[in-house]
Amino acid sequence: MIKVYQDYPHELLEKRWPNISNVDPDLREYVSKIVEDVRVRGDDAVTYYSKKFDNVEMQKKDLTVKKEEIEESYNDVTTK
């Protein structure tokens, strides 16, 4: 399960990314619109932006990760 943070405390973001407050407001607004579009349109928006920014054409079915793929990836990660 992936954790989703609706209202992530700004202090924690600044601790993780100290320059977050210095982000260009226009860029912040642009990215916020993309995030909202993905929230509203879901996979349709993800496939749209994959094409727009990465020039990768995909179908919604391509976004599904099989259980075996997750387990394989999990086993490939080393712990510290």
Confidence at 49, pLDDT banded by 50, 70, 90: very high
45 lies in a domain?
Answer: yes
- Cα separations in angstroms, 16 against 11, 26, 56, 79: 9, 22, 30, 21
Query: Among 30-34, 48-52, 76-80, which is the least confidently predicted range?
Result: 76-80
Residue 63 lies in a domain: yes
- Work out how many domains the chain is built from and give that number: 1
Domain span at residue 49 reads 31-80
The sign one gets for the Cα dihedral 68, 5, 13, 36 is positive
Band of the pLDDT at 54, cuts 50, 70, 90? very high
Determine, yes or no, domain membership for 12. no
Confidence at residue 20, expressed as pLDDT on a 0 to 100 scale: 74
